[in-house]
């Protein structure tokens, strides 16, 4: 059995908000051509028909106000460029048009094509180059936050394509319930930042099972004492607020929150794990819930339909949706001292891969699960011999000692 998998006891998922792959990591194409980022061949027409190329002019805050639209009809426009024909093809040509629809300002709408220079995001770009970066990880739905978060927790959104509360089907359990009710019993926890920033999309679990929840301070303590659960989901701070012991800046990177604050948060999570006794036994997945309406050039692929269909009224596009196409591509990085430096993964994933991986790794075969989750690829191989060396990302025979540190 590969040593990395043999040692793995803990999986931590950190889910950030609303930024696309090209926006955050597109600059890395110039550093490593295997990373599918920005090239000089890319553009989008603005509302006057002028082609707008991506430019490395993204700023940390103040540039994406109003926040770009990520509701289903807006993302449909972004992906299909405004084509509503039944046999249409996705072309990723509607991002500038979509942002123009929000403010009617041609120049401002072009900012949706901006991306960050590598040195502006020292944490995210370093981790991407040092560990495994995913070229083809897509949001689960071409829609907003709540339905995409649902896929990370349940492997389905129960037919939801928007921001409405989930109508949870009791047959499909959350990944936390699966683990904590399994025999032999496993442990799982959702760490939200603090009580003013509870984990979005999981409030039903909060309502019914508050014991599953902890705060970020508890996460840091659990790392420190080597008491992390088998599975942890970490949420950032979604709002600026007074915590009682001082002011806290939102660090979820949701437009128009400060991106540097999010960099510090990501580094804090990484440092907490790296400096803990659990570093040899833990893998950290950093993932964004959806693209935030910001430009990405990769066409989302078709996928296995879920058992639900959203009506034409629910989608707002005049067309039903069978959950048979993924959303826009997002930045995703897998961190572990057992991953070779500079790993680039080309297989297709979406957020249903999170419960799929956690369930397969810790519980083996489990049902019932949604069709989307059952067909989703896993990013950590289950410990069932023989492990395919071409799929196993934790492939080193010995732990790395050259992993970076961040001064936060």
Partner 1 sequence: MTLIHVPRPPQSALNPDRPINALLKAQIELFHKYEKRLPIQHHTRIYVSTIKTEGEAAEYIRAVTEAIHTVHAEAEAPRAKPPAPKRRRVIEFAAVADEEAERKSASKAKKEKSTAKAASSRKT
The answer to whether residue 101 forms part of the interface with partner 1 (CB under 8 A) is: no
The answer to whether residue 401 forms part of the interface with partner 1 (CB under 8 A) is: yes
Q: Are 233 and 152 in contact (CB under 8 A)?
A: yes
Residue with smaller CB distance to partner 1, 122 or 280: 122
Residue with smaller CB distance to partner 1, 85 or 207: 207
The answer to whether residue 197 forms part of the interface with partner 1 (CB under 8 A) is: yes
- Which CA distances in Å does 300 have to 40, 291, 328, 360? 21, 12, 6, 25
Residue with smaller CB distance to partner 1, 163 or 298: 163
Distance CA 61, CA 363 (A): 42
Contacts (Cβ under 8 Å, ≥6 apart) of 178: 355, 359, 363, 366
Residue with smaller CB distance to partner 1, 116 or 362: 116
Q: Are 303 and 375 in contact (CB under 8 A)?
A: yes
Q: Are 270 and 334 in contact (CB under 8 A)?
A: no
Distance CA 335, CA 236 (A): 18
The answer to whether residue 378 forms part of the interface with partner 1 (CB under 8 A) is: no
Q: How far is the CB of 147 from partner 1 (least distance, A)?
A: 11
Q: How far is the CB of 259 from partner 1 (least distance, A)?
A: 8
Q: How far is the CB of 148 from partner 1 (least distance, A)?
A: 11
Question: Could you tell me the two tokens for 337?
Answer: 């001292």
Distance CA 349, CA 26 (A): 18
The answer to whether residue 249 forms part of the interface with partner 1 (CB under 8 A) is: yes
Among 214, 305, 316, 404, binds partner 1 (CB under 8 A): 404
The answer to whether residue 203 forms part of the interface with partner 1 (CB under 8 A) is: yes
Q: Are 316 and 72 in contact (CB under 8 A)?
A: yes
Q: Map residues 106-125 to x or -, x wherever contact with partner 1 holds by CB under 8 A.
A: ----------------xx--
CA angle 357, 362, 368 (to 5 degrees): 70
Residue with smaller CB distance to partner 1, 177 or 377: 177
Q: Are 297 and 53 in contact (CB under 8 A)?
A: no
Please give the residues from 29 up to 88 whose contact with partner 1 meets the rule CB under 8 A. 60-61, 67, 70
Q: Kindly list the residues in this chain that would bind partner 1 in the complex (CB under 8 A).
A: 17-18, 60-61, 67, 70, 122-123, 126, 144-146, 163, 165, 194-198, 200, 203-204, 206-207, 210-211, 238-242, 247, 249-250, 254-256, 258, 260-261, 263-264, 267, 401-408
């Amino acid at each position: 059995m590969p040593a990395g998998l043999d040692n793995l006891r803990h999986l931590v998922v950190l889910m950030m908000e609303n930024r696309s792959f090209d926006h955050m990591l597109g600059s890395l194409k110039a550093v490593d051509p295997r990373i599918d980022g920005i090239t000089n061949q890319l553009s989008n027409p603005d509302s006057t028909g002028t082609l707008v190329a991506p430019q490395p002019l993204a700023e940390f805050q103040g540039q994406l106000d109003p926040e770009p639209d990520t509701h289903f009809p807006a993302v449909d426009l972004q992906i299909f460029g405004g084509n509503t024909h039944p046999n249409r093809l996705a072309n990723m040509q509607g991002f500038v048009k979509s942002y123009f629809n929000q403010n009617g300002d041609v120049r401002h709408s072009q900012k949706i094509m901006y991306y960050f220079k590598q040195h502006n995001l020292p944490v995210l770009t370093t981790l991407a180059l040092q560990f495994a970066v995913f070229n083809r990880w897509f949001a689960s739905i071409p829609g907003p936050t709540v339905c995409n978060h649902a896929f990370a927790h349940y492997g389905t959104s129960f037919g939801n394509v928007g921001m409405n509360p989930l109508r949870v089907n009791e047959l499909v359990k959350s990944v936390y319930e699966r683990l904590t009710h399994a025999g032999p019993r496993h442990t799982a926890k959702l760490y939200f930042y603090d009580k003013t920033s509870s984990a979005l999309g999981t409030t039903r679990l909060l309502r019914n099972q508050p014991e599953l929840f902890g705060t970020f301070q508890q996460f840091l303590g659990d790392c420190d004492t080597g008491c992390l659960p088998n599975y942890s989901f970490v949420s950032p701070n979604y709002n600026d607020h007074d915590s009682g012991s001082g002011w806290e800046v939102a660090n979820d990177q949701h437009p128009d929150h400060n991106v540097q604050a999010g960099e510090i948060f990501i580094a804090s999570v990484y440092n907490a794990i790296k400096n803990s006794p659990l570093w040899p036994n833990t893998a950290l997945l950093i993932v964004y819930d959806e693209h935030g309406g910001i430009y990405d050039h990769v066409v989302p692929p078709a996928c296995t339909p879920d058992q639900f269909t959203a009506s034409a009224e629910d989608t707002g596009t005049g067309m039903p949706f069978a959950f048979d196409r993924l959303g826009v591509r997002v930045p995703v990085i897998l961190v572990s001292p057992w991953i070779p430096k500079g790993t680039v993964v080309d297989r297709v994933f979406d957020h249903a891969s999170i419960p799929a991986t956690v369930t397969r790794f810790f519980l083996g075969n489990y049902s019932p699960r949604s069709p989307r989750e059952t067909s989703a690829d896993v990013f950590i191989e289950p410990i069932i011999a023989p492990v395919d060396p071409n799929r196993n990302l934790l492939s080193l025979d010995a732990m790395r000692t050259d992993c970076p540190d961040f001064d936060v």
